[in-house]
Amino acid sequence: MRRLFSLDRVIPILILTLGAVLTPAIMHAVSYPVPPPFQTVPWHTSQVITPQALAKKLALPKDQRPVIVCVGFSYLYKGGHIPGALYKGPGREASGLEQLMTWAHSIPKDTPVVIYCGCCPVSRCPNIRPAFEALRTAGLTNIRVLDLPQSFVQDWTQEGYPTQKQQ
């Protein structure tokens, strides 16, 4: 007489059942890893400024405006940038960071500074994070990041905010 629950029948069924239950959980863990550290932002939400708010500040007398610094690629700056913005090189390159740090050490530490790139969404930008961290390391205490969710063209230029081209 054969037993209905023999170990040679139960163990394979148990293994298949556990595999079916655990496979989705394992696949989820493999598919969605913890974001790498470079995807976190080193600034606080209070250190973010919207294009609308920055455009309003541009209308203030010159001595009340923040210093605006483009830390993106030169072709973007040359193609059109925020009026009065300084260009210090790409924040992801050592030469750009060196220019930025040299400049930062030459100004008062509490100078209001707004940095932007605009090559891509600020959440993925390769230039903003290193530039922000370099300015903070240089001791600047009043740094803000321009929130460009898509790009400089879409979030600034196409919205009708002022731009100028390099002379």
Domain locations in the chain as residue ranges:
1-33, 37-157
Residue 70: count other Cβ atoms within 10 Å of its Cβ: 26
pLDDT of residue 36: 43
What is the dotted CATH code of the domain comprising 37-157?
3.40.250.10
pLDDT of residue 39: 56
Instruction: Identify the three-state secondary structure at position 114.
Output: strand
The reported pTM is 0.75
Bridge partners (DSSP) of residue 70 are 87, 116
Could you tell me the mean pLDDT of each successive run of 10 residues in the chain, 167 residues long?
Answer: 62 60 48 45 89 96 95 94 95 94 96 95 91 95 96 95 85
pLDDT of residue 28: 44
pLDDT of residue 25: 47
